[in-house]
Amino acid sequence: MLIPDSDFILTGIFSHAPTHIFLFSLVLGIFTVALLANTIMVLLIYLDTRLHNPMYLLLSQLSLMDLMLICTTVPKMAYNYLSGRKSISVAGCEAQIFFYVSLFGAECFLLAVMAYDRYVAICYPLQYPNLMNWKICGVMVASSWILGSFDGIVDVAATLSFSYCGSRKIPQFFCDVSALLSLSCTDTSTFKTLAFICCVLMLLFPLLLIIVSYTHVIVAVIRMSSQEGRHKAFTTCTSHLLVVGMYYGAAMFIYMRPTSNRSPIQDKMVSSFYTILTPMLNPLIYSFRNKDVAKAFSKVLGKGKPRKLFG
């Protein structure tokens, strides 16, 4: 099959060896679970009025971002693997870069907003309705999407302005900005420096806000006299911190390492973790063990007694 000279080649992560066929099937299974779990979360929060509050609005946005993120990379990877094609058009590549970078950035900021929401709810419960009303929450959510999209637009504009010579093979299963830069015959040193600064700001600034918020939350929880209230607060915060740890750990490993320490195999493994596995784990860790979500799910199914999901 002829491949246009302008197309890029995605090397992918799987061959047709028996072990890789099994791993590919596993990825499709993870994709299906992530697709269903995040779609159910978004629909439940939209349909059940008991979940119409800022905390669940933020959870629905997290599920929506995860849903879009996994749909940005896995379908194309699966199509290439099953069809035997490895090419991706320039337009398709730039579309992947835009959505991937935009959703990555938006999720960074959204996780910081979620930490702030828990900080206000636990440290200032009486003032919570005023400090996290619908208007403020809406502005924070919209800002997360806008800031992430701005980063995506900048990266797309930059990669479109570069010239590409020689090999057009991208050692990834999706179009990644850093991989494209290595193929460019244009001087990209200035952009690499700016991109690194942006990554530091987009990762470390929200992470600093999360750390400060949860430091205050932990102190407030320890001082609680009610054991039930302390347990509920710790359950919610532990779920969030687990998601933050998975997301930021993988992202910092990918984007804040020196270029000399980069390995295509390591990049593929870690990218697979936070673009495929994390979108599946987030709704399971964060939401489906939540009693309000379980009640909403039972209500939608028309069952009288809510039961605990997934264990």
Quickly list DSSP for 214-272: HHHHHHHHHT-S-HHHHHHHHHHHHHHHHHHHHHHHHHHHHHSS-GGG--HHHHHHHHH
The beta-strand segments (E) located in the chain are: 8-10, 87-88, 169-170
Return the closest-CA partner of residue 40 out of 301, 307, 273.
301
Tell me which DSSP letter residue 273 carries.
I
Letter string b/e over residues 185-212, b meaning 16 or more CB atoms within 10 A of that residue's CB? eeebeebeeebeebbeebbeebbebbee
Return the closest-CA partner of residue 93 out of 28, 31, 158, 159.
159
Residue tagged 């933020």 (tokens): 58
- CA 225 to chain centroid: 36
**Facing residues of 184 across strands?**
164
Whether 97 and 175 have beta carbons less than 8 Å apart is answered as yes
Cα-based torsion angle of the residue sequence 271, 94, 27, 103 in order, rounded to the nearest 10 degrees: 60
CA–CA separation, 58 vs 132, rounded Å?
11
Indicate the pairing of strand 169-170 with strand 8-10. Answer: parallel
Cα-based torsion angle of the residue sequence 74, 75, 78, 80 in order, rounded to the nearest 10 degrees: -110
Task: Write out the two tokens for 12.
Answer: 């992918």
Return the closest-CA partner of residue 229 out of 242, 220, 238.
220
pLDDT of residue 257: 64
Whether 122 and 224 have beta carbons less than 8 Å apart is answered as no
Residues in the chain where the model's pLDDT stays below 50: 1-3, 304-311
Whether 208 and 112 have beta carbons less than 8 Å apart is answered as no
The beta-strand segments (E) located in 38-135 are: 87-88
Whether 81 and 14 have beta carbons less than 8 Å apart is answered as yes
